[in-house]
Amino acid sequence: MKVPVSILIPIKNEAANLPRCLAAVASWADEIFVVDSHSTDGSQSICEQAGASVVQFDFNGTWPKKKNWALDHLPFRNEWVFILDADEVLPPGTGAEFADIIAQDGRGHAGYWINRRFMFMGRWLRHAYYPNWNLRLFRHRLGRYEKLVDGATGSGDNEVHEHIIVQGTTGRLKSEMDHYAFPTVDIFVEKHNRYSNWEAALDLQEYLRGADGRPGKTEAAPGRPDAATRLQSPAVRLRRRLKRLARRLPFRPTLRFLYVYLIQGGILDGLPGYYFARLHGFYEFLAVAKAREMKAALKAKP
């Protein structure tokens, strides 16, 4: 029996990750959609062999990005959708948990958060970036990604730090998925070089709005309240407030390192935890430097 859920996987050149990702869901998921950005490494063939439907996405440079576009345009045959990245792996038993939730009409919820375990330097970081909750399972008609930054960001065609906003209450899944986002330091640096473009664009946007700490503009579906008020996780709302506060403080890269290494407990993850925290400090430095560069260029305009 297939579980009546549609899996949505956004990709670009993910041939190294797709076999592991797809193997964990192909046996029980009723429908798998892969939204590709014209991969050149054989990703499409891997997906089709696993029984997934592949759709190509052409980014217009601003919005919508890949996941929101897919949610708006793909012909899902199931009410429930789960967003899965190619570098994530769901554990055995997830299908049974999904089936139970859906059979009970969502147990009164419109969406569910799942915890992620970050793999770095060949091991699970048990403290840095853990727990890491993401809202991924939800009723398709009730959820969309928020829009935080206007205009082009240079961060790619996939959502970066945006969250899904749902109409209704949310719960938490028991299943925890493994996240192989950074198999090498080189990949960490490449990804966070792009992500820092997004951070810098958000920083500039808040600067242009008076640097008053307000969140960026959000985009919700017709008839919904402002998406910035609809983040169902108190932890996410707290992180957003701390992030806006941190943008006003000096020594942001050092503060980011100390947050990951000491407050989150990366120090307890040994040497990988130290490297992970240092790399996040470097990521923060890139965002600060790029934002300063953008502001200087803006001031230099006649």
Out of 7-21, 129-143, 163-177, 241-255, which region has the weakest mean confidence (pLDDT)? 241-255
**Of the residues 163, 182, 201, which one is the last residue of a structural domain?**
182
**Contact, 43 vs 18, CB < 8 A?**
yes
- Domains identified in the chain, total number: 2
Instruction: Using only the alpha carbons of the chain, give its radius of gyration.
Output: 19
Report the C-alpha gap between 97 and 106 in whole angstroms.
Answer: 11
Asked if residue 212 and residue 146 are part of one domain, the reply reads no
Segment 23-81, tens digit of pLDDT: 999 999 999 999 999 999 999 999 999 999 999 999 999 999 999 999 999 999 999 99
Average per-residue pLDDT for the chain: 91
The answer, yes or no, to whether residue 215 has pLDDT greater than 50, is no
**Of the residues 142, 159, 182, which one is the last residue of a structural domain?**
182
Q: Alpha-carbon dihedral of residues 287, 292, 298, 302, nearest 10 degrees?
A: -160
What are 185's two structure tokens?
């330091």
pLDDT for position 230: 57
Report the C-alpha gap between 126 and 161 in whole angstroms.
Answer: 22
**Contact, 230 vs 165, CB < 8 A?**
yes
The answer, yes or no, to whether residue 228 has pLDDT greater than 70, is no
Asked if residue 108 and residue 15 are part of one domain, the reply reads yes
**Contact, 287 vs 200, CB < 8 A?**
yes
Residue 246: band (very low, low, confident or very high) from pLDDT cuts 50, 70, 90: confident
Residue 12: band (very low, low, confident or very high) from pLDDT cuts 50, 70, 90: very high
HSE-CB at 288 with a 13 A cutoff on CA atoms is 19
Sign of the dihedral defined by the CA atoms of residues 89, 16, 138, 220, in that order: positive
Q: Which residues of 18-46 are buried (b: 16+ CB within 10 A; e: fewer)?
A: beebbebbeebbebbbbbbbebeeebbeb
Q: Are strands 29-36 and 3-11 parallel, antiparallel or unpaired?
A: parallel
Asked if residue 123 and residue 82 are part of one domain, the reply reads yes
Single pTM value for the model: 0.90
**Of the residues 123, 153, 182, which one is the last residue of a structural domain?**
182
**Contact, 139 vs 106, CB < 8 A?**
yes
pLDDT for position 231: 65
Asked if residue 189 and residue 178 are part of one domain, the reply reads no
